[in-house]
Amino acid sequence: MNLFYEDVETGANFRTGTHRITKDDIVDFCRLTRDHHPLHTDDGYAREAGFPGVIAHGLYGLSLMEGLKTELHLYDESSIASLGWDKVRFLKPLLAGDEVHVEMDFTAKRESKGRGVVTEAIRLMRGTETVIDAEHVSLIRKRG
């Protein structure tokens, strides 16, 4: 699927494939971002904070949402830019072993200088439980 502005239907929804979060994912995100807070590196510290063990960074979850959404190939030929993420809420901790997927709905669209701006409601899901809830705005091409 490759959507241009004209193809976007408000209310249309999509679901991605799944990804199982691993300890290596968390370690790699620590390394890439230089965020080695003990919540993400020390099981004992995380347990004292009330978690069952180390947790993934909320920003890892947000990044994973974009990656999983990209696997839908919605904008392979039409994407111009991400205009930003809004209303981001980290509702539940992400743990190694969690299997997650993304559910997304188009909530709005408008033309802008010969291009299209689309708004997506995006949720990172662990089964039926919402882990992260956010809104994303994308700038995409119109057809020819």
pLDDT per residue as tens digits for the range 103-132: 999 999 999 999 999 999 999 999 999 999
Q: What is the pLDDT of residue 144?
A: 78
Q: What is the pLDDT of residue 50?
A: 96
| Helix segments in 13-57, DSSP class H | 23-33, 43-48
User: What distance in Å separates the CA atoms of residue 14 and residue 65, rounded to the nearest whole number?
Assistant: 13
Indicate the helix (H) or strand (E) that contains 70.
helix 58-70
Q: What is the pLDDT of residue 35?
A: 96
CA angle 94, 138, 65 (to 5 degrees): 15
Q: How many domains does the chain have?
A: 1
Q: What is the pLDDT of residue 1?
A: 78
- Asked if residues 124 and 132 have their Cβ atoms less than 8 Å apart, the reply is yes
Low-confidence ranges of the chain (pLDDT < 70): none
Query: What distance lies between CA 9 and its chain's CA centroid?
Result: 20
Q: Whole domain around residue 13: which residue ranges?
A: 5-140
Q: What is the CATH number of the domain that holds 124?
A: 3.10.129.10
